[in-house]
Amino acid sequence: MARWMMVTGAALLLLGIAWHYFPWLLNWFGRLPGDIRIETERSRVFIPISSMVILSVVLTVLVNLFRR
């Protein structure tokens, strides 16, 4: 359990560094076809359906690779 927490922490740290120094790397996230964005004068609604599907597939593949 502690090993997974350390790996997750390291991955989040690397993601934070990448997002800070290279924001263009993650600029595509949330702007894919299938992501719903509704903006009115008073509110904004954002539902990243296709971005979450891609993220789920990638995380599933990574978890299955590290488990075996």
Q: What is the pLDDT of residues 28-55, one digit of tens each?
A: 777 889 999 999 999 999 999 999 999 9
pTM (2 d.p.): 0.65
Q: Are 36 and 46 in contact (CB under 8 A)?
A: yes
Q: Are 29 and 42 in contact (CB under 8 A)?
A: no
Among candidates 59, 63, 64, 37, which has minimal Cα distance to 48?
A: 37
Separation CA 67–CA 7 (nearest Å): 13
Separation CA 42–CA 8 (nearest Å): 37
- The H or E element spanning position 50 is helix 49-67
Across the chain, mean pLDDT equals 89
7 pLDDT higher than 90: no
